[in-house]
Amino acid sequence: MDFETLQAFAGRHPLLSLALLGLTAAILYNEFAALFRGFKGLRPAELTALMNRDNALVVDLRPIADYQKGHIPGSKNVQVSQFDPENKQLAAARSLPVVVVCKAGQSSTAAAKRLKKAGFERVYVLEGGIGAWHQADLPLAKGKS
Active site residue ranges: 102
Query: Which of 50, 145, 31, 38 has its CA nearest to residue 99?
Result: 50
Q: Which residues contact 1 (CB under 8 A, 6 or more apart)?
A: none
Distance CA 11, CA 68 (A): 57
3-class state of residue 81 by DSSP: helix
- List the one residue out of 22, 68, 43, 65 whose CA is nearest residue 131: 43
> Which DSSP helix (H) or strand (E) runs through 124?
strand 123-126
**How are beta strands 76-77 and 40-42 bridged, if at all?**
unpaired
